[in-house]
Chain A
Amino acid sequence: MDLSWGLVGQLAWTGLATSTFYYLFAVAFALVLKVNRVWNFGQAGVMVVAYFAMYTALQLWSAPPLVAIVFGMTATIAVSLALEWFGFRVLRGRKSSVLTYFIFTIAISQFAIYLGELTFGADPKTLYPSIMSPVILVGPIAISHWDLRALAVTISLALALAAFLRFTKDGQFLSAVADNPELAEIYGIGLGRTYAISIVIAAILVAAGMYLVGTRLPMYPATPLNQFLVLAVVATILAGIGNVFAAGTAAIILGLIQTFSILVISSTWQILIVYALIFVTILLFPSGVVLKRSSRKIVRAGASASGAAAPIASPPAAKEGN
């Protein structure tokens, strides 16, 4: 393949635009891990719900896009809250082992995938009959309307989340609970409410991400588990557990690596890059490469809170109040 600056620029742009939904998924995953202290593999199931809720509204009911997005977001939030209230809360109350959380979240994702396949079929689907997007040329680089929309949505959501965490009381409560849930509770912060807020924020990010996916790529029901979630988990580990926005940045880097890999390997093998990166990350950067110091601090706090020696935070078994 002839390498030119135009080609490199195009790959960089396309990779960046495609990584927008990876960013949203990684931030959602990292936030729930940080605040709720759950490796939420159930996020893949939530992604499936978000996607097919919007698909139903758009393709089966012929609803306008805005109505479909609102419907998809509502369904995603409802399912996420159900997961928190009827799943995680019960397991926390029982002081269930990390093993139980893992099995529960993985089973939930698999359940959603099979339900999606049963209801909508196992073939790939897009949210609109056509996913072609008009293109403008900036020098040698083709920029589609989808690219611009995806970047605008992702940047807006990232800024809104940063502002929420920094300037609102609830946002600060999230950080307090993430640092030390027992102490936060002593100061009167309702753990149940805080966990619900974090899961709702994650649901919003996931729904937005799935809308971007569905307007860009055909999607199989199993894609969220096989690809998007795996990438989000790798990004979270790479960023250092507890660094929410760094997880997003790591996801963009992973997306770019995947895009640029087309220069050396065929598209059939591109996905293997992500799977190979899992081992590279675990072997070389088990505590992350970004903001190592703060991640260690959070890890230590998590371990001391739960009494676990593992380098990740275990689910806390504190009482929940509103």
Chain B
Amino acid sequence: MSNTKNKIKFLPLNEILNSRKLRKNLRPEYIEACRFFSAPLIDRTETLDAGIEFEVIDRLKDFSKIKKSFGEICGERAKFICEKSFAENRKIQVLWSGGIDSTLALVSIIKELEKQEDFARLEILLSKESIAEYPTFFRDVIEKKLNYILFEPPIYDYLNAEKIILTGEHGDQLFGSDKVQHFVMTNQAFRPFEEILPIVIARKLGSAKSVDAIISYLIPQIEKSPVKIETLFDFLWWMNFSLKWQHVSLRMFYEEENEKFSLDENFLHFFSAKDFQNWSVSNHESKIKQTWNSYKYVAKECIFDFHQDENYLLNKEKEQSLKDAIISQPSWTRFIKRPLKNLMLFGGF
């Protein structure tokens, strides 16, 4: 068993880019790759050398082909969460943004609790923006029969560690990446990644200087993909799935009283289950068709089975709504509030 004492589980991007102490140890290519992806990267395949050691909490090792449908996996995941809720006698607090991922998580829990006729167990945290994002669902489903709390960001004041907190995180990692939107809309997403990636990196960074170094650095990681990486879409999915997953798992704890919450104990991400990950790898062709509206169409179809809003099914686009709920103040004020050592919440670096 590897020694994890001095390994880091979570690092904010600001620290990677701005901390002199960290930058001395981090590989320059790693820093540039983080800058390009606008995220701290933690390699779940443990292939890339970042210059410091990270503790990987959800390793990517063996994948098995899965025949279950996405809807079936949602049902099983909801059953597991509800059983946990009953066994531990905790209520379930669902963070609903109105987006596709959190709506599907909520729908799955509602369907499971319907069997038990125990909706009192469910509490939904939502904001005005959540309602605006999916008004018919709020009107037809939530407002009528479910307990909900309308919160003003930040969300942390409303989270109750006595309950099971449930988010719709990791939906994007399963299906692709929100970064791919404009590339899909201009038909660039399905071009060979070798052809388009250099220009994408150079444009994002505003310079071609680091392009070759970033690509060379990532090549071994690309080769580890269980799905052949051919297009820019494939590439961005695999990077999101393998490198950004852990950051997404832990980013909500970074903000405030993290000691109260423990991942997979009282804080669960609906789409983090292994079956979902196996589905993502086994059904690569089901993530998107050719248009941006079709992104996550499999998930939207599951929602439509429960709540027949044709407009949502056909036109709903992915929004970055959960992140907006998390962020309540500019990054520089948070930096002042929390000294560096406190930012390393999960590591002993």
Q: Do A and B bind each other?
A: no
Which chain B residues have a beta carbon within 8 Å of chain A's beta carbons? none
Which chain A residues have a beta carbon within 8 Å of chain B's beta carbons? none
